[in-house]
Amino acid sequence: MELIERYIYAVGKRLPRKQRADIEKELKSLIMDELDARTGEGKPAKEDITAVLMEMGPPAQVAARYTEKGRYLIGPALYPTYIMIAGIMAGAVLLGLTISMLVGFLSTQPDAGQALLQVGLLIPRFLMAAVTGLGFLTIAFALIERFMPEKQIMSLKDEDVWDPSQLPQVPAKYDEVKPWEEILGIVLAVAAIVIFNAFPEVIGIYWLEGESTIHMLSKEALAYYLPFWNIVWGLSIGKNGLLLYRGRWELGTRIYDIVLSLLNIAVLAVMIAGPRLLNETVAGAIQKAAGANIPDLMRTALVLAFGVAIVVTAVETGFKIFRLIRDRAQAA
Amino acid sequence: MADTQEAVQNLVCELKRGTLVLSVLSQLEAPQYGYSLVQRLSDRGLAIEQNTLYPLLRRLEKQGLLESDWSLEENRPRRYYKLSPQGVSVLAQLHGEWDDLVRVIDRLLNEEETGNGTD
């Protein structure tokens, strides 16, 4: 008889608490019936009990059959959403850590070795933060799974109402968006915004003059251009985000992209025409030291570089426009 | 050969699983307790594992097709299951569906035996 108690206990501890007592009671009566059928009215031998229990099956299996819908931490209906949010969260954590590291670099000005160490530390930091985040996310989803009525969870999937014609087109090769490229774009743009707005003094090359270092780029010029750059970076983050969200290039994003390129050209043009980027104090010092008109040469080189950038961007933009028109024509 | 045997085994299992609910409902117009139902089914040629049947009974009760009551006899509490009013109507409909299915499958199988597509 003790064997039976042990068996029922083994099944019961695997059952949801609410149903446990009831199922245990039923299971016991079923086992007793089986035993009766086997031994008649007499006292059952240990072999009989063993045989009956073997016939019932392993406790884990019996318990599994009693727990009808399967016991999930996060069930199939919620799982895809869970995975998606986990992915977004991992990306956001990485983005946040990278930005805070870059900001740290700017305020502490580490040497190469320290900087490398910080970059290396990014991995364990990411793992720690990601695991913590994943933990909270899992708890949240497990609570939803546990307490939200099944019907409501199923309606989240929304699969009953669908229409084949509403399925998105399979993106053509050139319409595909590579998520990591967009994420990298966002990281770089955010880093640029943070650096140029919050720590403009660290940018550019330094000119040593006696004891003090002087910035080679003119503060006034930077301040003059910064609003333009911020607009371009902001719009570019918007583009990356939009592409990530939509998962493909579309007419809207293509036009957005072309407008952004044209804006880039305009900003470069402003930089050629606008205030000089080279710090005048530094320019004077160089001229005095070198005797030759090196500052003018440097200015010319800068203008040339901007010019080349304009041409490259213009060609690229032309190509984008050409392809857009061609694709539209083909699609029509 | 062993592979074929295994495949057949699995398919037969699937087939039987599909008919299980109908078989069980068909025997519960009068109340039965777990063990007596196993006996009844096995007397009529349907061998079914207890650990499949007992959970199934609870599930059908939760779905509202069965009703159950504990009753004490010979000093032993037993849970008796029988069809609920809804279960009676479901059984009748399933019965009709089953008859249709048998007819269709029968037609399909015999068509194949006579050479498939003589018309």
What is the per-residue pLDDT for A139?
92
What is the per-residue pLDDT for B22?
94
With beta carbons less than 8 A apart as the criterion, state whether B33 and B81 touch. yes
- In the predicted model, residues of chain B with pLDDT beneath 70 are 1, 112-119
> How far is residue A31's CA from residue A4's CA, in Å, rounded to a whole number?
8
Q: Which residues of chain A approach chain B closer than 8 Å at the C-beta?
A: 23, 25-27, 29-30, 32-34, 37, 55-57, 61-62, 65-66, 68
With beta carbons less than 8 A apart as the criterion, state whether A229 and A260 touch. no
> How far is residue A228's CA from residue A234's CA, in Å, rounded to a whole number?
10
What is the per-residue DSSP string for A192-234?
Answer: HHHHHHH-GGGSS-EEEETTEEEESB-HHHHHHHHHHHHHHHH
What is the per-residue pLDDT for A154?
62
What is the per-residue pLDDT for A171?
75
pLDDT over 70 (residue A61): yes
- Chain A residues within an 8 Å CB radius of B77: 25, 29
Question: Tens digits of per-residue pLDDT, A296-321?
Answer: 787 888 889 999 999 999 999 999 89
Would you state the structure tokens that stand for residue B118, as one six-digit string?
A: 């003589």
Distances in Å between the Cα of A167 and the Cα atoms of A85, A106, A164, B9 are: 22, 47, 5, 39
**Partner residue facing B54 (CB), from A25, A30, A68:** A30
> How far is residue A303's CA from residue A211's CA, in Å, rounded to a whole number?
31
Question: Tens digits of per-residue pLDDT, A228-253?
Answer: 999 999 999 999 989 988 888 888 89
Please indicate whether residue A91 or residue A41 has the higher confidence score (pLDDT): A91
User: What percent helix, strand, coil does chain A show, rounded to 5?
Assistant: 75, 5, 20
Kind of pairing, strands A206-209 and B66-73? unpaired
What is the per-residue pLDDT for A104?
77
What is the per-residue pLDDT for A212?
60
Binned at pLDDT 50, 70 and 90, residue A210 comes out as low
Determine, for residues A61 and B34 on separate chains, whether the beta-carbon distance falls below 8 Å: no
Q: Give the global pTM.
A: 0.54
Respond yes or no on whether ipTM tops 0.90.
no
Question: Tens digits of per-residue pLDDT, A87-130?
Answer: 878 887 888 888 788 777 776 777 788 888 888 888 898 899 88
Mutate one of A7, A19, A26 to test the B interface: name it (highest B CB count within 10 A): A26
Tell me the percentage of chain A whose pLDDT exceeds 90.
18
What is the per-residue pLDDT for A202?
64
Question: Tens digits of per-residue pLDDT, A168-204?
Answer: 777 777 788 888 888 888 888 887 887 788 776 666 5
pLDDT over 90 (residue A72): no
Mutate one of A7, A25, A61, A65 to test the B interface: name it (highest B CB count within 10 A): A65
Determine, for residues A33 and B52 on separate chains, whether the beta-carbon distance falls below 8 Å: no
